[in-house]
């Protein structure tokens, strides 16, 4: 799905009385999620073991 299609689909599901700020916030969220999915598809994500290792480091300091 293209970004335009994603945005149009998102807009069609928002209530008619939503504010422009709510529209922008919703679109930013969805596009951010899509960007993360695209990164994972390109193999740019962090493995589950990597997250556990990193979070253990963060929690021990």
In this predicted model, what pLDDT tens digit does every residue of 3-36 receive, in sequence order? Answer: 888 889 989 999 999 999 999 999 999 889 989 9
- Chain centroid offset of residue 26 CA: 10
Burial 21-51 (b: 16+ CB within 10 A, else e): eeeeebbeeeeeeeeeeeeeeeeeeeeeeee
pLDDT given at position 18 = 95
Q: How much is the pTM? A: 0.68
Return the structure tokens found at 45. 């994500």
Q: Which domain holds residue 29?
A: 3-60
58 pLDDT above the threshold of 80: yes
pLDDT given at position 19 = 96
Q: How many domains does one find in the chain? A: 1
Task: Name the nearest CA neighbour of 30 among 1, 6, 12.
Answer: 6
């Amino acid at each position: 799905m293209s970004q335009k299609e994603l945005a149009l689909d998102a807009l069609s599901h928002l209530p008619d009385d939503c504010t422009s700020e709510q529209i922008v916030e919703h679109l930013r969220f969805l596009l951010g999620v899509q960007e993360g999915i695209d990164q994972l598809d390109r193999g740019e994500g962090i493995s589950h073991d990597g997250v556990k290792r990193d979070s253990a480091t963060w929690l021990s300091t």
